[in-house]
Chain A
Amino acid sequence: MRITKKDVEHVALLSRLDLTEEEKEAYTKQLNSIIDYMNKINELDTEGVEPTAHVLPIYNVMREDEVGESLDREKVLENAPEKEDGQFKVPRIV
């Protein structure tokens, strides 16, 4: 299973990364060697083995549905690259 430059372009789009031509070349090469190394896990038979996504036996931790403190709007907007009328501003979407 070889990764081509086209695969890299596809994954970069999914990742929302506007890679340069040099980056695409470099990542194609590196991803191939890294994925080759990952393929080592295919030596193992995992038939019937349950996956571990998380080590703790915790499911659906609930809390009382009470109104708590929340962050101040102006405070949160202080970090915004652009804002207007108490909202985040972004370039045109449609």
Chain B
Amino acid sequence: MELYEYSVSALKKMLQNKKVSSREVTEAFLDRIEIIDGKVQAYITKTAEEALKKADEIDSKRQKGEELPSLAGIPMALKDNLCTKDIKTTCASKNLYNFKPPYSATVVEKLEKNGAVMLGKLNMDEFAMGSSCENSRFFSTRNPWDLERVPGGSSGGSAAAVAAREASYTLGSDTGGSIRQPASFCGVVGLKPTYGRVSRYGLVAFASSLDQIGPFANTVEDVALVLQAIAGHDPMDSTSVDIPVPDYSEALQGDIKGMKIGIPREYFPDELSSDVKDVVQKGIKKLEDLGAIVEECSMPHTEYALPTYYIVAPAEASSNLARYDGVRYGYRDKDAKNVLEMFMKTRNEGFGEEVKRRIMIGTYALSSGYYDAYYLKALKVRTLIRRDFESAFEKYDCLVSPTSPSVAFKLGDRVDDPLAMYLSDLFTVPANMAGIPAISLPCGFSEGLPVGMQIMGKAFAEETILKVAHAFEKNSDFQGQKPRGVE
């Protein structure tokens, strides 16, 4: 077995027992990236030199017998919308093609303090808007299981890098499914924590009431380890909640006998491909075999979540993205004669097609005469969606569904049809609307491509969904399968 194939928790033990050095592990990942990333194209920026420097630092501390934190010496990578001090943070946009943040995101600082070794920054849909990574202004990332297919989005680079073992774990961000959908497409584990669980400080904002940062890894145990390192209150983000962070690795222990799991029937509509449906139903059967009490339930407002999301998210985005005006950082059209012309030209050239489309939708929904009909109406429907979850969680510990209605689709298949692209977020947006945590984990294959199962939990009850996911994973044969596109 190659060093890059080990899980985060295995590497942690090997490093602690000095079976291997951080330099050896880091070099193994850097070589892997060198060999494979030409095909997968997950990385926008590689930081090999800094990575080796950090690895040596950790190794020398370990040699001296210093006590090191849990993730010390383990190589990881970050979605390129997480600010990294003095290292380019582009959001895969022409607008920020040369942007070097003067500070790091809180999650980045936390990982640094935890001894993490950063290998580089990962590709994404521009400003996290998209479901296939094809909206990157630089290049499209490929799905490691089939290089002709998309890795999902928007955190496509983060999912593909973990699947292709180009990083032991990664971070992404999830506004409407941008962690879970690519995790599902690439056959890895991806967690969107509760809104408020992880600080958003230094995450380039898309839709501030929905955005949340979370981990990708190859196992549930690894995701728990990484969540532990990034969770918690941060004075720099007033929406990060000041409540204790439980021990997530501890929470994985024990069985799920007697746990009550709801299966909302609205998450199995006609649009759902029958293969995905079969695979997920088999997964649910397995949870039942493991002792969970599984019951069908109803969440009547589910079908309204997607249209509501595509009003709320663009509305917030249109406001958040007003800052890209070519004044303080990023791209500027240099030929403009006056300042208005500079704003208009800079923005039109700096933003790609989908980002402009969302800014337009959002501006329209917020504009005079339409505000009540669209934005305010959507916020009221958001309340109804939340209530669906509140009543479901009175009866159930968690809810299980497919993560996305289909497996990874082919590159180019949906680029000309925005609505078809939006539909791949059908089952993931409700969790963002309600602010609850949700995890996607591999539960089988359809036509040789991974199918993801989504487990949604109560607010701040990440332990529950991690526990169910872990119980499932231990009893599944997915682990050890290698993506065909890169082997």
Across the interface, do B328 and A79 meet the contact criterion of CB distance under 8 Å?
yes
Q: Which of B339-374 contact A (CB under 8 A)?
A: 339-345, 347-348, 351, 356-357, 359-361, 363-365, 367, 373-374
Across the interface, do B327 and A90 meet the contact criterion of CB distance under 8 Å?
yes
CB distance from B331 to the nearest CB of A (A): 7
Across the interface, do A46 and B336 meet the contact criterion of CB distance under 8 Å?
no
Q: Contacts A51-B383, A71-B103: A16 and B344 contacting too (C-beta < 8 A)?
A: yes
Q: Contacts A38-B307, A88-B327: A56 and B241 contacting too (C-beta < 8 A)?
A: yes
- What separation, in Å, do the CA atoms of A22 and B347 have in the docked complex? 17
Across the interface, do B307 and A41 meet the contact criterion of CB distance under 8 Å?
yes
CB distance from A48 to the nearest CB of B (A): 9
Let me know if A58 is at the binding interface, CB within 8 A. yes
Across the interface, do B103 and A34 meet the contact criterion of CB distance under 8 Å?
no
Set of chain A residues within 8 Å of B221, measured between Cβ atoms:
none
Across the interface, do A34 and B361 meet the contact criterion of CB distance under 8 Å?
yes
CB distance from B96 to the nearest CB of A (A): 9
Across the interface, do A41 and B304 meet the contact criterion of CB distance under 8 Å?
yes
Across the interface, do A37 and B238 meet the contact criterion of CB distance under 8 Å?
no
Q: Contacts A78-B102, A80-B329, A90-B327: A52 and B318 contacting too (C-beta < 8 A)?
A: no
Let me know if B62 is at the binding interface, CB within 8 A. no
Q: Which of A36-85 contact B (CB under 8 A)?
A: 37-44, 46, 49-56, 58, 61, 63, 71-72, 75-76, 78-82
Across the interface, do A23 and B356 meet the contact criterion of CB distance under 8 Å?
yes
- What separation, in Å, do the CA atoms of A26 and B354 have in the docked complex? 12
Count of inter-chain pairs, beta carbons less than 8 A: 167
Let me know if B310 is at the binding interface, CB within 8 A. yes
Most chain B Cβ neighbours within 10 Å, of A7, A23, A91: A91
Across the interface, do A71 and B102 meet the contact criterion of CB distance under 8 Å?
yes
Q: Which of B287-325 contact A (CB under 8 A)?
A: 301, 303-304, 307-308, 310-311, 318, 322, 325
Q: Mark A4-46, 1 if CB is under 8 A from B, else 0.
A: 0001100110111111100100010011011101111111101
Across the interface, do B356 and A17 meet the contact criterion of CB distance under 8 Å?
yes
Across the interface, do A52 and B327 meet the contact criterion of CB distance under 8 Å?
no
Question: CB-nearest residue of chain A relative to B85?
Answer: A75
- What separation, in Å, do the CA atoms of A12 and B334 have in the docked complex? 21
- What separation, in Å, do the CA atoms of A30 and B419 have in the docked complex? 9
Q: Mark B374-392, 1 if CB is under 8 A from A, else 0.
A: 1011111111101000000
CB distance from A64 to the nearest CB of B (A): 10
Most chain A Cβ neighbours within 10 Å, of B99, B318, B331, B383: B383
Set of chain A residues within 8 Å of B384, measured between Cβ atoms:
44, 46, 49
Chain A, interface SS category: loop
Let me know if B485 is at the binding interface, CB within 8 A. no
Across the interface, do A15 and B381 meet the contact criterion of CB distance under 8 Å?
no
Which one of B209, B310, B325, B326 lies within 8 Å of A38 (CB-CB)? B310
Q: Contacts A15-B360, A79-B329: A58 and B380 contacting too (C-beta < 8 A)?
A: no
CB distance from A68 to the nearest CB of B (A): 10
Q: Contacts A52-B382, A56-B435: A41 and B196 contacting too (C-beta < 8 A)?
A: no
Across the interface, do B377 and A41 meet the contact criterion of CB distance under 8 Å?
yes
- What separation, in Å, do the CA atoms of A51 and B307 have in the docked complex? 16
CB distance from B140 to the nearest CB of A (A): 21
- What separation, in Å, do the CA atoms of A90 and B341 have in the docked complex? 11
Set of chain B residues within 8 Å of A92, measured between Cβ atoms:
337-339
Q: Contacts A14-B367, A37-B419, A71-B102: A8 and B360 contacting too (C-beta < 8 A)?
A: yes
Across the interface, do A15 and B238 meet the contact criterion of CB distance under 8 Å?
no
Set of chain A residues within 8 Å of B303, measured between Cβ atoms:
40
Set of chain A residues within 8 Å of B357, measured between Cβ atoms:
27, 30-31, 34
Across the interface, do B360 and A17 meet the contact criterion of CB distance under 8 Å?
yes
Question: CB-nearest residue of chain A relative to B331?
Answer: A81
CB distance from A46 to the nearest CB of B (A): 4
Can you pick out 28 interface pairs between chain A and chain B where the beta carbons lie within 8 Å of each other?
A12-B360, A15-B318, A15-B356, A16-B343, A17-B359, A27-B357, A33-B419, A34-B310, A37-B419, A40-B303, A40-B304, A41-B381, A43-B304, A44-B384, A50-B383, A52-B380, A52-B382, A53-B209, A53-B379, A55-B209, A55-B386, A58-B238, A75-B102, A76-B328, A79-B102, A88-B327, A88-B328, A92-B337
A-B pairs, top 8 by smallest CB distance, nearest first, are A55-B435, A51-B379, A79-B329, A81-B332, A18-B344, A61-B238, A46-B380, A18-B348
For the complex with contacts A51-B380, A55-B434, A88-B328, 19 further pairs of A-B residues with Cβ separation under 8 Å are A11-B363, A11-B364, A15-B347, A16-B343, A17-B348, A18-B344, A27-B360, A33-B419, A37-B419, A40-B304, A41-B311, A44-B381, A51-B383, A55-B386, A56-B196, A71-B102, A80-B327, A82-B332, A91-B341
**Contact residues of B with A, CB < 8 Å?**
98-100, 102-103, 195-196, 209, 235, 238-239, 241, 301, 303-304, 307-308, 310-311, 318, 322, 325-332, 334, 336-345, 347-348, 351, 356-357, 359-361, 363-365, 367, 373-374, 376-384, 386, 418-419, 433-435, 459
